[in-house]
Amino acid sequence: MILNFDFASNVPLYMQLRNQVVIGIAEGKLQPGEKLPTIRALAEESGINMMTVSKAYQLLKQEGYILTDRRSGAVVAPREDAAGAAASAETVEALRLHLSELRLSGMNREDVLNLCERLFDEGVK
Amino acid sequence: MGTVLWLSMVWIAPLICFLQVNEAKFKKNIVVGVTLPFKAREDEAVQAVLKKYKTGMWAACGLLIALAAAGWALAPESMTLWFIWIDLCIILPYVPYVRTNSALKKLKKERGWGPAADQQIRVDISAIPQEKWISPWAFLPPAVISLLPLLFDDSLWMANVSMAVCCGLFWLGYRYCYRNKSEMVDGNVELTRALTQVRRYNWGRMWLLTAYSMAVLNIGMILTVRSAFWSMVLSMVFMAVVVGACLWVELSVRRVQEKLTAGSGRDWYVDEDDHWIGGLLYYNTNDSRLVINNRVGMNSSINAAHPVGKILTVALIVLLLALPFAGEFIGGGDVVLTVSDDAVTGSNGRTEYVIVMDDVESVQLLDKLPAGLARNFGTGMPNLLKGDFSTPELGHMKTCLDPTVPPFLLIETEEGKLYLLGSREEGAAEAVYEKISQ
């Protein structure tokens, strides 16, 4: 899986890393139980500061996307495949914001739903 | 001795130029420090630029050899001239390199071959290196071998211990002068892994080779300590072996990089040209690492955008500019011999041997140097002998003299210590001898 870090972006690097790992898990590029690179290895590879990588991993751990262990490092957390599972309050708020932005950009309900369906299906492939 | 001095280093000019000419071959989509797509390899304009580059590089080589010949003819024993030539060997080959780099970048822009300018870094997490480092214990055997001569002769203990310590430093160099980063060229993960392994393996091999060579040198030093000629031969053989081995490893890595990436560059490929000034100096403010790997070959470089990198870059430039002046200090400075009522002092630069008059047991005035005088530790220049020397008959002595300006004083103290001193000032040795004899 390839991670892209945009240093010109307004989004902090740790959030870029966090977001891409979450998308990677959702799209199946990162499987439950799969080992992630160590903080040192990822920092060495990308040139990003170790503290930044550590912050992203801490956030992912808090949100339940990864599990960390001193000896084995970070692994993708197993997903509970429960139908009707509720999204977290933060995720709903973020979605509300993005939907508002799409509406303000001129997209109607049908366009938004089509877009959501397409993005969802991309992750399922 | 001057002839030996020039001959011992004249080979670095063709060596440097050979390595630079090798940069004209595509490796990892890079040629003379510029990343180009696959189609550029057959482009006539690119071929013309590369041909001109190779011609220019060999011309620089010829010029350097001619300058060496001129330096040897004019002043064979001038250290200042020699260091100036060394500086030119380092700087001159980069003139055609930087010019070609600039020409290729211009061509790249005109053809629209570059990627869209962005500030993105791409990381393939499946290709991040997982191999373990060579254990520091692997560097212990050469360190132990370096110390073995102490069992038979401790006269060179300082050199033996220094070289054993060097083996430890070699492990540090192996471990910390390398960035553990994958060699990503394009989206091919297997290619990335192969290139990464090749670099890593050869990097370790080179450092271990050097450590073991150092150990063998140590053994050789004990065998040749009584002969300045054979010591010099040994040093030159050691240098040839180490340089030859490192060159062989470097070229092996380059060959593999060239071969494995022969078909790369057709789709997406890594292009970091924006971070390499002139194709030579890595400058990336978004990279927090100080040590980075050269894109081609297996060596390392520093990130000049890093605070420590800035200091090191400036220090390197200062060192290059100051090198010619080092000639004055090495083999330069005056050799002085003075005497007072209390002591005799022989000095050159910061080296000073002071012998208390009351401790003087005997003094001899020698018209020529003792037979079999060999250097154990110190300076052995055509016009300066300084440090710890010895002869089979007399044993060890502290020496500070210009061998081209006799006579010399051989002083023995009550403790049995010997000093062999001289002066560049005419009549000074005789005057000091008279004073001591009184």
| Least CB–CB distance from A6: residue in B120, B123, B125 | B120
Q: Does B255 touch chain A (CB under 8 A)?
A: no
ipTM for the whole complex: 0.75
Contact residues on chain A for B124, CB-CB shorter than 8 A:
1-3
Size of interface A-B (CB pairs under 8 A): 61
Q: How far apart are CA A51 and CA A17, in angstroms?
A: 13
Extract the tokens encoding B288: 């927090």
| Residue segments in chain A with a per-residue pLDDT below the cut of 50 | none
Residue A94 confidence (pLDDT): 83
Could you tell me if B124 lies within 8 Å of chain A, comparing CB atoms?
yes
Distances, alpha carbon B413 to alpha carbons B324, B358, B359, B397, in Å: 39, 9, 5, 11
pLDDT recorded at residue B92: 94
Across the interface, do A6 and B126 touch by the CB < 8 Å criterion? no
- Cβ-Cβ contacts under 8 Å for B304 (sequence gap 6 or more): B277, B281, B282, B283, B310, B313
CB-based contact A11:B120 (threshold 8 Å): no
Contacts of B284 in chain A (CB under 8 A): 47
Contacts of B100 (CB under 8 A, 6+ apart): B32, B49, B50, B52, B53, B56
Q: Which of A2, A41, A48 sits opposite B122 (nearest CB)?
A: A2
State which residues of chain B have pLDDT below 70. 1-2, 116-119, 131, 155, 226-228, 327-333
- The pTM for the full model equals 0.79
Alpha carbon of A45: minimum distance to chain B alpha carbons (Å): 5
What is the per-residue pLDDT for B85?
A: 92
**Do you find a cis peptide bond into B407, omega within 30 degrees of 0?**
yes
For residue A42, which residues of chain B lie inside 8 Å, CB to CB?
Answer: 123, 125, 128
What's residue B411's pLDDT?
94
Residues pairing with B408 in the sheet: B366
Structure tokens at B185: 């060229």
Question: Residue B327's pLDDT is what?
Answer: 64
Q: Taking CB atoms and an 8 Å cutoff, what residues of chain A touch B123?
A: 2-5, 42, 45-46
Provide the chain B residues 175-214 that lie in CB contact (below 8 A) with chain A.
179-182, 187
CB spacing of B128 vs A36 below 8 angstroms: no
Q: Does the distance separating the beta carbons of B125 and A4 come in below 8 Å?
A: no
pLDDT at A119: 84
Give the pLDDT confidence score for residue B366 in this predicted structure: 94
Tokens of residue B52, six digits: 């001109």
